[in-house]
Structure 1
């Protein structure tokens, strides 16, 4: 078989560029990422998905067979817009990014739960951890493709789905701000212990990831460490269209 023929085969874990997802994840300055997470509960990641890959993912939205469920946000008072849960097994970018990100997010998660005096149930590999979720009845896939149009927005919320929760998750913007859409900033709202709530807004560049806390995070208090609840959402899209890939590291009941 010629090299040209090999390059035309569908991408799998064992064919062309098997390490490109991990290389992108590893290109982050993870010391700085942890510092940002510790301070704000969220941190920008490098470009995890190329413009062409982002376009390919956007085009998946209309393929019904790839998704197990579709949610119209206005119907449930979640905001305005629509999102779809992928079926597992996931398309390659989704699965490979989750597998590459998990080992980097795991020590941060364990550090946070140690500070909060909580047991950290997460296994050393994503597959083992998801096996625990499935044994507990959390078997539904949770990777999401979201689509926002002009005036759409996402209410502040937390993606918990069951008793077993991984404390960090990642979103990737699949459109170019200022070109494909205006508005649509990613929002975090943190309820600080005995203090005013603090909000942050981040405009995600095309293909870049953003890692943030799923439920809460440790903050220093007079008694050591306290848990500050955090919710996330998306501000109103002013014009154009915005797609987002959301990677959650626990499955749903």
Structure 2
């Protein structure tokens, strides 16, 4: 389920095996895997440890952003549509892709995951969580599907003037990968104003800390799904995080969310 303070679960649909599916094609010059492998993962890991989030500049090109945003009206690509105001999630809407995923979405999901596994496993160890994640995304998805989490979770979000996304956590079942990625597909200051990506972090016996993450078109933010360890004087302790989007002052904003676990 997706949690925005209240729960809402969708009716279950059968899923295709992503390894057997052929997805709609979006052209791109360099392979996604090469681009992902060339990122400064040491810096990304350091930022995740310090702040619970890390930005990646120009993860996708402007033309890829436009191609992805143009998919929003193509309802045959999606398994469900959510109008946020109906459920108290905010204002705006989003759609969950169905399998087969668009090629670039599937490629990003597969290529990014292995680089985040060391962080995920190290965080769980520090928080005394027994779960460990396999090196390859296909093996983790198999774990999800064996537990009945068979519905894909990558999504495309659309906001207009006055829209916003309440602080929430993307939790869809027992098996949760603790990191996810959001990519901004629109240009701040040209396509929209306002609409900043926002995170809050609640530490025990302390007031919440807010983090506003500036992004340009094509930039991504990698961030903690629900919790992460923080080093204290007596060792690491767990803090809880939520994320959302501030109110759009004008224009329209599209983003892609890449979540690595599937849903019940």
Cα deviation, 1:5-42, whole Å, max 9, x if unaligned, reads xxxxx858xx985x621222233211111111111100
2:90 and 2:225 map into 1 onto residues whose CA distance is 19
**2:114 is aligned with 1:103:** yes
2:83 and 2:128 map into 1 onto residues whose CA distance is 38
Is the 8 Å Cα contact of residues 165 and 250 (structure 1) preserved in structure 2?
A: yes
Is the 8 Å Cα contact of residues 165 and 246 (structure 2) preserved in structure 1?
A: yes
Match of residue 34 from structure 2: 23
Is the 8 Å Cα contact of residues 72 and 81 (structure 1) preserved in structure 2?
A: yes
Three-state SS of the structure 1 residue aligned to 2:157 is strand
Structure showing the higher helix proportion among its residues? 1
Match of residue 103 from structure 2: 92
Runs (5+) with no aligned partner, structure 1: 1-9
1:156 and 1:252 map into 2 onto residues whose CA distance is 20
What pairs up with 1:234-253 in 2 under 5 angstroms? Answer: 234-253=245-264
Match of residue 238 from structure 2: 227
**2:65 is aligned with 1:54:** yes
**2:193 is aligned with 1:152:** no
Runs (5+) with no aligned partner, structure 2: 1-23
Match of residue 207 from structure 2: 196
1:236 and 1:22 map into 2 onto residues whose CA distance is 34
Choose the corresponding residue for 1:67, options 78, 95, 109: 78
Q: Give structure 1 regions of 4+ aligned residues with deviation exceeding 2 angstroms.
A: none
**2:148 is aligned with 1:163:** no
Cα deviation, 1:173-232, whole Å, max 9, x if unaligned, reads 000111111111101000012211100001211111100000100012343111100000
| Bigger Rg, structure 1 or 2 | 1
Three-state SS of the structure 1 residue aligned to 2:205 is coil
2:212 and 2:28 map into 1 onto residues whose CA distance is 37
Match of residue 181 from structure 1: 192
Measured at CA, do residues 25 and 65 of structure 1 come closer, stay the same or move farther in structure 2, by a change above 3 Å? same
Is the 8 Å Cα contact of residues 184 and 203 (structure 1) preserved in structure 2?
A: no
Is the 8 Å Cα contact of residues 28 and 64 (structure 2) preserved in structure 1?
A: no
1:63 and 1:16 map into 2 onto residues whose CA distance is 20
2:229 and 2:196 map into 1 onto residues whose CA distance is 24
2:221 and 2:184 map into 1 onto residues whose CA distance is 9
1:11 and 1:156 map into 2 onto residues whose CA distance is 33
